[in-house]
Chain A
């Protein structure tokens, strides 16, 4: 007699990836206080170290050398709406590092030709935030995603109990869901223990704390021919650090202890570290004095990630099975760490700037206006398995192909607009700017955009300069507490106000 031992392999966890696309591409990039005060519209203007991250040709304007430090403070204020029943308000404060580094300009190798070089680090995006929303729901429960998945995968009870240690298996173990059988004892499907729909309502609460940021260490080079034509390029090392802690709870709002459901709490800790590289290349042309036209191309970033995930669930099914807890770490087959690669979208930036009085005497310099239009191909994000020197697993390759197809249909290309200006009365300057970043989502029902309003002051004298900027960003986005396939989804609307107080101190040497 042969004894067959079933060997269970856990599902690899990829569920976050589709939502992660916007994290690495849909943000208002940080910079120096001066560049932020004009809405980041630095593409054709040049003469600021932030040009490294928008249009490196702008470094070609430098014939001097400077070192720059840009610390800033971020204050998040969130409001959310969920099923029209509740609005919460959460705040979080964080530190952000704007463009910090040095520019070495003015190397003249032949007549009317100069070059410049920069080394800098910049925090392009900050992930520090805390969102929270809650409300009553008479239509669906998060337990239904587990029912759907098990039926979608034709999962047996053994598979339900073992193959999904970050989701459905936790639900199955804590009796949030259970199997159903026909009179002959054959498995017919799965059911939830949560009483929702048909007049029953549950209370849902979603809390998410995120941290980390997207950084770049950059090396840029630019040339200047006759103060007419500027060419530049940068090689950038991308470093991404992201943490996400989710706590989601469904509660029976009634006092009925005989309906077999009290509450269920799901927790998830997600940690994502990545490193990669990209390049930026640009050109600025001055057809006439005062007018500058720029064009830049940002290559996609190629980033390798290490993704760590852990999850847990506690469910109280009252008289049915009481309180039960399960954790992903209880499953010996749980793969809590995965590696994969991402290719982020490319960007194209077209810019124009008009500078009033481009003269050496600072007291005669009047100001400038500058504008950028940027196209970001959000639907172009691609994920790949890390194969090392092997060929990889065809099953995983197939998964990534499907994932990339979903990204192509879920996202779209978006235009971003930046506009800003400065009025100068040396040694002081006053600046104003704004920016609009369009929605990356293809579905018009998902309202999302980013609007930035900025203002700042500058002082330049005694071989140094100090710029102070305050920006207010209005971020509109959506958040799905869970997603269903065969039933309408529900999502929260998020309205984040982010105030950024930024200081840049620079020294000429």
Chain B
């Protein structure tokens, strides 16, 4: 029990301590106004160039003939950028070939990823999907249940109420589907005590008219 209380208490203490930043001032409501932190936004040029870049630039502007040929090595070979350097080892299509299964790994003696097992067609990441689906799909699929959703005839009241609720009765006809059985109306007109459905004449070619099951099937008690 004590252990159960320790973690929630720890969480509450942690969260309350997190919110100390606003304890002495108003707690902002971001729906109305969200105060930005007082951050000095650095100038893009200054933040991405070194003081030596400035020096080179000033020298070139001041006396181009003298300093124009001075190359900026640290710019062109800055490790953060690769200016279409053909020899860089990172220009292979490695990122495409992994997981997606297409794209041809860049072949190079210097390519450290050539032997990566995940980049191969024989990698486990390509074969695992073969065993994903159980063999449950090759089954006969009856559309009977779907067809019932096309039936917009409703009968929601029993006989004594049906007459008084006529205005709430809906069209009882069936539309937009083909029936295999036309015996229902006839069945209802007779005084049969239980509902039944019959095949159209000649439509039923299998079965023996009894409850005898075929080989390999279950048999009723």
Contacts and interface: CB of A to CB of B under 8 A. Distances in A.
Interface of A: 3-12, 14-15, 18, 45-48, 61-64, 66-67, 83-85, 105-106, 108-111, 114, 136-141, 143-145, 147-154, 156-159, 161-164, 172-173, 175, 178-182, 184-198, 200-201, 259, 261, 321, 324, 330-331, 335, 337-339, 355, 357-362, 365, 368, 385-390, 392-393, 395-396, 398-399, 402-403, 406, 409-410, 424, 426-427, 443, 445, 460-465, 483-491, 507-509
B100 interface: no
A181 B127 CA distance: 53
Interface residues of B toward A: which range? 35 or more
A60 to B, nearest CB: 9
B20 to A, nearest CB: 6
A189 B129 CA distance: 45
Given A141-B195, A485-B148, A508 B28 contact: yes
Contact of A153 (B36, B142, B151): B142
A509 B32 CA distance: 18
B163 interface: no
B138 interface: yes
**7 residue pairs, one from A and one from B, having the closest CB atoms:** A463-B19, A189-B198, A47-B31, A156-B207, A463-B22, A191-B196, A509-B18
Contacts of B181: 148, 151-152, 189, 486
Contact of B207 (A8, A139, A157): A157
Interface string B191-221: 1111111110001111111111111111111
A131 B37 CA distance: 53
Given A151-B198, A197-B195, A388-B133, 19 more contacts: A5-B215, A61-B30, A64-B34, A136-B158, A138-B159, A153-B144, A159-B206, A162-B217, A162-B218, A181-B210, A185-B210, A195-B194, A197-B188, A198-B188, A335-B139, A362-B28, A386-B132, A395-B138, A462-B23
A39 to B, nearest CB: 15
B15 A507 contact: yes
Interface stretch (B65-73, B81-89, B109-117, B169-177): B169-177
Interface of B: 15-16, 18-23, 26-37, 39, 41, 44, 129-130, 132-134, 136-159, 161, 165, 170, 172, 174, 177, 179-181, 183-184, 188, 191-199, 203-221
Contacts, number: 370
A84 B158 contact: yes
B158 A149 contact: no
Given A157-B211, A490-B155, A485 B31 contact: no
B27 A463 contact: yes
